[in-house]
Structures are given as structure tokens and as C-alpha cells.
Amino acid sequence: MRCTLSRTFVCFLALCFAAATGCGSDDDRPDVRTERFHRSELNRPSESGTLERSACRLFRPREVARIVHRPGVALRARPNDSTDLSVCGWRGRGLVVQLIVDAAPRAQLRYFNQLSEQLEFHNTETGRRPQQLKHVGDDAAYGGAGAWWTPSKGQLVAYAKGRILRIRVVGAGFGDREKRRACARLARSSFRRLSSPGP
């Protein structure tokens, strides 16, 4: 009697296990799509997602040379764009000008976080401590100024109207002050052109 009950119980467990593992529907398979397919909104991945114009289309090469006070230098533009980020490098005769336009979300908060981080880690280092600049970006932004300059990098970071700009100028005859002024001029011109309608 005990053997029969044990055998019956074992058979019952085996049937339950088979039912649990083998009775699923075809929709349970991982390769079956259960939700409707939606087309991605990103149809032009080579262009900056929230920018109408890439960095290279903001200026003609001769305009860049004039803005940085090297009007006789013939520059050539090299674009490198991705979603929400547009990079342009203008090069010629030992002069390099780089403009990065960052249009990703929450730009003002990210600008402030980057400034805070640089102050936290490099406040005691003269060359790496950020020097805040007024009258370049939006001076009402978090942090008290719309731009900062890092001497060791020769880089200006500026914020205005939902955009972060990173600008560098490298070339013979550019000291720290000349680089900073050239970057500030290019930043102000960039913000104006990004705000105005254009092709």
C-alpha cells in the first residue's frame, strides 16, 4: 500500500513539473515581440540632436581666422558630429581652433557640476583652477558666471541658452591672455549664431 502511494505521489509530482515547464504559450519565448514596434525619432544621427546647425556650419573658416585675430591664415574645417554634440576643428599653418557645442539635456546643471568638480579637485593648483569670466555666457547661470577659463588646458567652457561650449585655440604667438580673449570672442559669436535662425 505504501509503495503504491509513494509511486502515485512521485508520478503526480512528475506530471506537475512537466505541466509547469512545457505548457507555456509561444508568446512566452524571448524572441517573440509582444509590444508594437515604434520607429526611433532619431532619423539623422550624423546631426546634433537638438541643434539645427553643426559647429562647422556656424562659421566660415575665414570668419574663424578673423575672430581669433589671424585673418591671413587659411583654415580648413573638420566636423565630427553625434547626437547632441557637435565638434569642429579648424586647422591651418600651425593654428588650431576647436569648438565643441554640447546641446544635451540639463546643460546648466551639468555646467555647474563640471565647474564644482574642477574647483573641488584643482582649487589649490594655479594652472588648473578654473578662472570665472563674466560677459561671455549667461552670468545668471549656477556658479556665478557664464564661463570659465582653465590656463593649463587653454580651454574656455561657457554656458548660455541650453548650450555648453568648449573652445580651444592653439598656435604660435598665443599667450594665455591672447588665447583666453580669442576663445571668449568665439564663444560670444557662437552663442549669437546659435540663437539666430539660419540655414
pLDDT at position 44, please?
42
In which residue are the cell numbers 509530482 written? Answer: 13
Kindly report, residue by residue over 18-27, the tens digit of the pLDDT.
555 555 445 4
CA distance 47 to 84: 8
In which residue are the cell numbers 573638420 written? Answer: 78
CA distance 143 to 128: 17
Kindly report, residue by residue over 80-99, the tens digit of the pLDDT.
988 889 999 999 999 999 99
Overall pTM surpassing 0.75 (yes/no): no
CA distance 161 to 138: 8
* 100 in Cβ contact with 118 (< 8 Å): no
Q: What is the mean pLDDT of residues 40-49?
A: 40
Between 51 and 109, the more confident residue is: 109
Kindly report, residue by residue over 63-76, the tens digit of the pLDDT.
999 999 999 999 99
Closest residue by Cα to residue 167 from 147, 142, 144: 147
Residue ranges of domains in the chain = 55-195
Mention every residue, 6+ apart, whose C-beta is less than 8 A from residue 48.
54, 81, 82, 83, 84, 85, 86, 101, 103
